[in-house]
Structure 1
Amino acid sequence: MVDTRIAIVGAGIAGISAAHRLYQNGFKNFVILEAKDQIGGRIRSIKFDNNWIELGAQWIHGQQGNILYDFADKNELIADLTKDFGLEANGFFCTDDGDLIESNLVRDLIVYVDEKKEDIRNIDEINFNVFEYFRAAFDDFVRSRVDSEEIIESDLETINLLRKVFRWFIIYEVIDNSCDNLRELSSLSYIEWHNCFGTVDLINLKNGYVSVLNKLVEDFPFENHLRLNTVVERISTTFDYTSASIELKLIDNSVNSREENHFEYFDHVILTSSLGFLKANLTTGFFDFDLPDRKSAIIKALGFSAINKVYLYFDRPFWIKETKGFQILWSNISDQHSYSMSEPKVLNDWENQAQKFPSWVYCIQGFDRVYNQPNMLMAWIGSYGAKQIESLDDDEIAECLTEVLETIVPQSCRLIGSVIAKPSKIFCTRWNSEPYVLGSYSNRTLEYGHLCSDNHRHNIEILSEPLRYKDIIKPSIDHNLQTKSDWPLIHFAGEATDFEFYSTTHGAMQSGFREANRIIEFHRSKLKN
């Protein structure tokens, strides 16, 4: 057991959880290989103004059955749930003409389509286009509120308002699912994902998400097992007539490093790379062998797109005390592209329609207040806008969003006499440009749904199934390695490999524990035999 040499690729929460579980069970001959100069993966907390902001994972999602919540609660990492719960998609609903919308129709429609979203689990068909489903629900709601046989001017105003609210809902779902547009998203994204119920849905951490990682690594000599700035360039297998192992080609990625490539050998590798990285590197030579056809097909078919966040820090708030956020109801939504969040064929199509702002702005859902940051607002941006924004510099983004806020925020929601000044500090994420991430988190596409049989759990089991020796090299009938043909060489972890909790940190944590347990049980069973 002690001599089993294990590499963990990636020091995100999946990799660190795997390391924690291995060490606690006596497997201490492992190394964590991290390409960047810091741990965390898609957890990235930074200290600002004596508190924290999250550039990556934002909240713990739910309580019941959530192993990450249980861990954080046990170690007193969680913020006060009675007052410091997460705020998302909340606050004032404003048009892009600066009008405050207080109509009950806004909440009525959102509640209605949210209920329809829950109903997806009860539909016999398991793989259908969710945009068309939501569009039909919207049409039903409109018919219930408007007499279609005798539409008067007030009805037209009602329909126009409802269309704006519906598009806000579509932007919300695009961001929540980290997809490019809902036309490509499968109903499986709502069927397979499991909600961890509790008193609070979105749970903040008192000292940033990084506090979870810091607490995990307290239980073992983490620094002795960690190598930062270490890129795995290629995974190969080696064998002779008595043993099989995995060969990793490693590159020192640190600044001013002159070390050339070198190779190291392991009995097991736990690969925690993002689905985005796997999709981009199926045929680049990262794997020096072909993955099984079914596993490759699932990696290609699963969705993995980008969402980004922009934090705006103001020297003093311009908003009134009771503000929870500003949600934007965009106008001019008759265009099919804007309605479904499909990317315009020409990037300046928005401007051609006399839009006020660059096209990426219309992929913003709104501006939310930020936990423990009283002078800060945060904008979520999804779809093609999340990718477009990554090519812009922070100053250009800040200038544009200041203009957006000046346009949408009604005077009644501002402190008396407040002019919205440009923020003094901006933090903008660029997850699609991160070479070892290439997006945000996974989703279930229609293409993925087409691969599913009645047992759709089986696809994710195939994705997470380790590559055994026999999957990579078919030993001849007289080969001494026949006895090692079932040896699990390469293990797959990360949020995308969890069936119920994909897209979450607790799914990533669970996957790291799962693969560590798989190695532990494999060697225990060998000892018994």
Structure 2
Amino acid sequence: MEPARPRVLIVGAGLAGLAAAQRLLLSGGSRRFSGLRVLEASGRAGGRIRSGMFGNKVVELGAHWIHGPSKENPVFQLAMEHGLLDEEAMSEENQQVEAGGHPVGPTVCYSSQGQLISSDIIDSMRILFFTLLEESREFLHADKVPVHSVGEYMKKAIVQQMKEWTDDEKTKSLKLSILNLYFKLECCVSGTHSMDLVALGPFGEYRMLPGLDCTFPNGYEGLTNCIMASLPKGTVLFDKPVKTIHWGGSYLEESTGRLFGVQVECEDGEKFLADHVILTVPLGFLKEHYKTFFYPPLPSQKVAAIKNLGFGTNNKIFLEFEQPFWKPDCEVVEVVWLDESPLAEPPGDLKTTWFQKIPGFIVLHPPERYGHVLCGFLAGKESEFMETLTDTEVLTTLTQVFRRVTGNPQLTPPRSTLRSKWHSEPYTKGSYSYVSVDSSGDDIDVLAQPLPEETYNSKTPGLLFAGEATHRTFYSTTHGALLSGWREANRLIHIYDKSETLHAML
């Protein structure tokens, strides 16, 4: 007699969940796995991939770039297969650029006193900052680290560098202010409030792929739409927030007389039974709900990983101008707040200083598509505070900033604004993960470990974990999310490949 087909349930229709569903269906689909369903808490697919309309323009409120668009990047490969990229992004030349995950291009840098800062001093400080940042990746396999965090390491190195500076005090102060700008930028890249929170030892484990970071001309959601279109209608159930996952038990389905190891209870009271559940919810959600979301409670090691790994907020603010105050070839507008220093305590009053945490604004290109739009990035507590303000308050404050830094008190305000609010999103509670000073790469592996933990002779795992925070070297990225979804789908496929082989032999 043929064994009953295993039933798989996926929680979360972000990229990890959709990738897992597609991989399972491609492996034999309904012939192998019965009743595959994806439960999505919100009314849309894509998770932290979210393209939005800004007037008549498509902009990215979530994931912005394909980081490292080259042959090793599965997001890039899928985007190429589906024809979602322009020719320049797909060129061999672009795939070979070593950009290190940071935007490149012509930059204008203003000071908070309304002056343009010389590109020479900007370039020298940029080189110093990124040289020290690369140095901080070199402690990966060290027996002992000199300090706990990337921030502490870099600040100690800057103090040493300053001993060789022969400038006057004003120039030294300016150099420190510029370095502080790059600390703010790196907070946005790492999704953290401060680089003092990012662990030094594991920092080099994050792997950057070659390729000049590129965007989707018609929106990142084109990728998730393509995956959604490949799934049978009704596979994804929307507005189905999960309340509790009951795992490691034995639940009877009366209509079939079958026993299942997992029961998923939704907020609306509906219950789903499954042999396996692939959980792809963000780490920020787990941090807030792990105590009530699982029954029985998770093992202490898993709880420790959830609590200790970092998960921060990085938001975007889009501003549309009637006319640009920047030159046509400009790609980044940076703002240096004078008298700030990475060696000093940051200002504590978020209400009056939140906007000073914005390191700069990228110019959306090409202007034929976007008009005159700037996109500012803002990370940490200041970013979370910004979410509490009204659009008018944000627009008024940033108009004052632009008038101040350009030295033009008559500068026309932006005519509209749009921003993300990832910390306020109830099913996300932030943007993406990082390895905090309280954690290590081992915590990522613990988070990814299925339950019950696989031991000799144990039953197959009922609860599997995916999402960017479960990928040890590509955490915080869309390709990390995609690969994690494939990993858990492959885990189940492998289990049933072995099972089918055994069944055929008997």
TM-score (norm 2): 0.87
CA gap of 1:54–1:240, structure 2 versus 1, over 3 A, is closer
Which of 148, 160, 179 is the equivalent residue of 2:173? 160
CA gap of 1:82–1:236, structure 2 versus 1, over 3 A, is closer
CA gap of 1:38–1:460, structure 2 versus 1, over 3 A, is same
Q: What corresponds to 1:235 in structure 2? A: 245
CA gap of 1:325–1:492, structure 2 versus 1, over 3 A, is same
Q: What corresponds to 2:439 in structure 1? A: 448
Q: What corresponds to 1:502 in structure 2? A: 475
2:65 maps to 1:59: yes
Q: Distance in 1 between matches of 2:485 and 2:317?
A: 30
Q: What corresponds to 1:293 in structure 2? A: 300
- Trace 1:277-292 onto structure 2 (pairs within 5 A): 277-283=285-291, 285-292=292-299
| Structure 1: gaps of 5 or more residues | 147-153, 253-260, 349-357, 412-417, 450-455, 472-481
Q: Distance in 2 between matches of 1:205 and 1:243?
A: 45
- Trace 1:273-422 onto structure 2 (pairs within 5 A): 273-283=281-291, 285-333=292-340, 339=344, 341=346, 344=348, 347=350, 358-371=352-365, 372-410=369-407, 419-422=410-413
CA gap of 1:280–1:82, structure 2 versus 1, over 3 A, is closer
RMSD: 2.6
Q: What corresponds to 1:133 in structure 2? A: 153
Q: Distance in 2 between matches of 1:96 and 1:2?
A: 68
Q: Distance in 2 between matches of 1:399 and 1:108?
A: 34
- Trace 1:466-481 onto structure 2 (pairs within 5 A): 466-468=450-452
Q: Distance in 2 between matches of 1:130 and 1:469?
A: 33
Q: Distance in 2 between matches of 1:288 and 1:82?
A: 46
Q: What corresponds to 1:45 in structure 2? A: 51
Which of 432, 439, 448 is the equivalent residue of 2:423? 432
Q: Distance in 2 between matches of 1:271 and 1:110?
A: 40
Q: What corresponds to 2:124 in structure 1? A: 108
Count of paired positions = 473
The CA deviation at 1:89 is: 8.5
| Structure 2: gaps of 5 or more residues | 95-101, 253-257
The CA deviation at 1:385 is: 0.6
Q: Percent identity?
A: 30
Contact 2:180-2:341 within 8 A present in 1 as well: no
Q: What corresponds to 1:10 in structure 2? A: 12
Q: Distance in 1 between matches of 2:391 and 2:104?
A: 23
CA gap of 1:191–1:107, structure 2 versus 1, over 3 A, is same
CA gap of 1:431–1:60, structure 2 versus 1, over 3 A, is same
2:192 maps to 1:179: yes
CA gap of 1:207–1:2, structure 2 versus 1, over 3 A, is farther
CA gap of 1:240–1:209, structure 2 versus 1, over 3 A, is closer
SS in 2 for 1:519: helix
- Trace 1:201-216 onto structure 2 (pairs within 5 A): 202-216=213-227
CA gap of 1:236–1:470, structure 2 versus 1, over 3 A, is farther
Q: What corresponds to 2:163 in structure 1? A: 143
2:119 maps to 1:119: no
Q: Distance in 1 between matches of 2:220 and 2:202?
A: 25
The CA deviation at 1:80 is: 4.0
Contact 2:177-2:342 within 8 A present in 1 as well: no
Q: Distance in 2 between matches of 1:78 and 1:128?
A: 41
TM-score (norm 1): 0.84
Q: Distance in 2 between matches of 1:82 and 1:523?
A: 39
CA gap of 1:459–1:195, structure 2 versus 1, over 3 A, is same
The CA deviation at 1:470 is: 8.1
Q: Distance in 2 between matches of 1:73 and 1:188?
A: 36
Which of 418, 427, 446 is the equivalent residue of 1:462? 446
